[in-house]
Chains A and B, each alone.
Chain A
């Protein structure tokens, strides 16, 4: 127990040295750029920043899928000359139900609708089923697998678009990751007030160009005529305008959008460019509708509805609509980044300003220093030499913790700093156990070496059992916790591991070296 081979000694000291080397970068700035200088990541609560948890509206994803499916159904049945009595989507059950006027055509209808089924690109499974029911209705049910693939795709696509939008704002080092089925975590270091970013990611930014139905009377109340929507004007929320449901050109066909000022009026506008498909369609529509109004619709609000003066064939256009420099710029950003596949809602926000973060670091560091001094003083006073050896091990332990956390690129949070302190308090427990044991063994009349041998070996199982349970509790905390609390769990679990090493290996080595050098008649315990 007290014998250390040269090999073992070297390994223990090497691990300690490595730990110190890995831990040191946390205390000083890098001396030169070529030196590998890995430090612990500071959590957003310490460095200041924002954490946003976004939820992708899966109902909207399903609804949109069903809507486009309904379009397909209408078209197919029209081509097959089959007439239906009713056609409804039931988003709760992921299906569309239709009832034919002539029930005898059910088989024909089912056959006509079959081509709408497409196989999954990976598994080859059909993405929905078409079936006729005894009560004469036909249902098209989307398969759960296809839906979850679509939902997953929507989340991935949203992440990509959010990234593009945030990149435009100049936030350094944003982290955008998926969480679970339908959630996205956005971490924005240094952003204490994420208001603008929330506005940017809170918009679907689906832009469409549609013709205005000049015959309808949207402000007289009543339901819009078939094929029309009554949409509000962005600038005058009280006023509605009748817009055709048919989308002539989609915002997805934009290749660029930039904020600028109009040469004639000096107002802020957004200039945009279409790709070739968009340019051709825009040209066709504008040519056929000279002197009619068309509406630029963003997320079901009409930004503007100018009258077409002449055919617009160059694929370029301009949106004007009471913009300020900021709002024109934001719209340009949104149009460039593309539309989100589904609306996003912020379900959790945690923002900390940089000042508060710095104050937390100061408070944490002060507590850490004070706690460290207290523990060291206690050990020195109550356990003498062996206490000081334990203190040396404690310092190494602190470096090892920092080193491992830097290596793992773990995040240090304010609760994490509390975790370090608690670990320091708990780490000396192993030394206390060992020292008490050695003292007892010596009291029983064992000579020094035997007392050390027995002391260490008997304390071992106690140390192991008592740490194992604490370890288990904190692993659970990591699994079920979130955010800063996870940081706490990480520091404690790392701390338990390193303190086992320093108490069990390093102190034992130090004690053994001290014994060999001094050969005392009585141990100072």
Chain B
């Protein structure tokens, strides 16, 4: 039983005409992305303290946490605008304080909470303290954004270099759409947007690119192989040929991330849920977004470019339009 494969995800010779649904795919994607962008502004992201600055303290109490007691203790110690939240099991509480005006005030707030709990909530233990000052949070935000932008740029350049510019543009536009949806997911689920989420988004970026590259690679190969096949059929053929791999890989990555979402603990499960969402989005966008964009951009040009014996690079005059698109 260990020799032969047991199942196939998709039977051989499957020929689904994906490009028929290209408008539908793009429209659905556009709607979802637009909704995400709207949600980015309203209600907006739930910024974690990495980016907003402030204090988060995770407290374990003896037995189920008594919110009223904690509230009273904090209020008695004049702790500024606190928010309480259950975290994991019933005896864990997250205390959040908003951004404080100065670094010293941030540290003072940590000390205040500490004394308040010592005096007002006997048996409580502070398990985690994160305090981020305003200057650091601004810096972290800038760096996160920079990492994202530079990664996108490098992916653009890399694919452009290895393929034609149509592929690069198709991939990067799709990636941007993927990212907006991931951000919409964050806004919808109210998961804290912090540095770990930037890591999640970058991982989705890497995963999604990987998926697009595999499909594109097959398109490139088939362009050389079938000189006269219309691009639309050729893209459909390429997607179908790689469908087992696309679904297979997304399943393994999905299966690998699932336990993390289920048992990884409160502080990493948000990351895992975003990853799971990103895997689904990234896989479907390879088929329904990246491929149609390639079809629109390359309908006439790719065929003509591929006509000479050696697969020619796009002429420079056209190539310069790529970054602006």
Q: Report which A residues bind B (CB closer than 8 A).
A: 53, 55, 192-193, 195, 198, 202, 345-353, 355-356, 359-360, 363-364, 366-372, 374-375, 378-385, 387-388, 414-415, 417-418, 421-422, 424-426, 428-429, 432-433, 436, 439-440, 443, 458, 461-462, 465-474, 476-477, 479-485, 488-489, 492, 524-525
Contact = CB atoms under 8 A, between A and B. Distances in A.
B131 A473 contact: no
Contacts of A432: 244-245, 248-249, 252
Given A371-B258, A462-B217, A470-B210, A381 B150 contact: no
Interface size range on B against A? 35 or more
Nearest to B157: A472
A488 B106 CA distance: 28
B64 interface: no
Point out which of B2, B6, B210, B252 has the most chain A C-beta atoms below 10 A from its C-beta. Answer: B252
Contacts of B242: 436
A472 B245 contact: no
Contact of A436 (B106, B155, B244): B244
Given A421-B260, A433-B214, A474-B206, A378 B255 contact: yes
A202 to B, nearest CB: 8
Contacts of B275: 418, 422
B54 to A, nearest CB: 11
Contacts of B147: 476-477, 479-481
A505 to B, nearest CB: 20
Contacts of B214: 433, 462, 466
A473 B128 contact: no
19 contacts: A345-B133, A351-B126, A355-B60, A356-B58, A360-B267, A366-B259, A368-B259, A374-B256, A382-B5, A384-B5, A422-B256, A432-B248, A439-B12, A462-B213, A466-B211, A470-B206, A473-B154, A476-B154, A476-B202
Interface in B1-27: 2-9, 12
B127 A192 contact: yes
Contact of A524 (B3, B128, B129): B3
Interface stretch (B135-143, B229-237, B305-313): B135-143
A474 B251 CA distance: 22
Contacts of A418: 257, 260, 264, 268, 271-272, 275
A425 B213 CA distance: 17
Contacts of A385: 2-4
A374 B128 contact: no
B272 A374 contact: no
B74 interface: no
B104 interface: yes
A469 B213 contact: yes
Main SS of chain A's interface residues?
A: helix
Contacts of B125: 353, 355
Given A347-B135, A415-B268, A388 B114 contact: no
Given A415-B268, A476-B147, A469 B206 contact: yes
Given A388-B2, A485-B195, 8 more contacts: A193-B129, A360-B265, A371-B257, A414-B265, A426-B210, A428-B249, A466-B210, A477-B198
B146 interface: yes
- The 8 lowest CB-CB distance pairs between A and B, nearest first, are A425-B256, A470-B206, A370-B259, A425-B253, A480-B147, A363-B265, A374-B255, A347-B133
Contact of B103 (A55, A421, A429, A472): A55
Nearest to A370: B259
Given A346-B131, A461-B217, A485 B6 contact: no
Given A195-B111, A470-B209, A524-B3, A353 B126 contact: yes
Contact of B127 (A202, A349, A352): A352
A58 B209 CA distance: 44
B281 to A, nearest CB: 16
Contacts of A351: 126, 128-130
A363 B154 CA distance: 35
B133 A348 contact: yes
B256 A424 contact: yes
B272 to A, nearest CB: 7
A410 to B, nearest CB: 16
Contact of B154 (A360, A472, A483): A472
B212 to A, nearest CB: 9
A472 B151 contact: yes
A364 B271 CA distance: 13
A222 B199 CA distance: 57
Point out which of B130, B256, B262 has the most chain A C-beta atoms below 10 A from its C-beta. Answer: B256
Contacts of A476: 147, 150-151, 154, 202
B255 A381 contact: no
Nearest to B271: A418
Contacts of A458: 221
Contacts of B199: 415, 477, 481, 485, 488-489
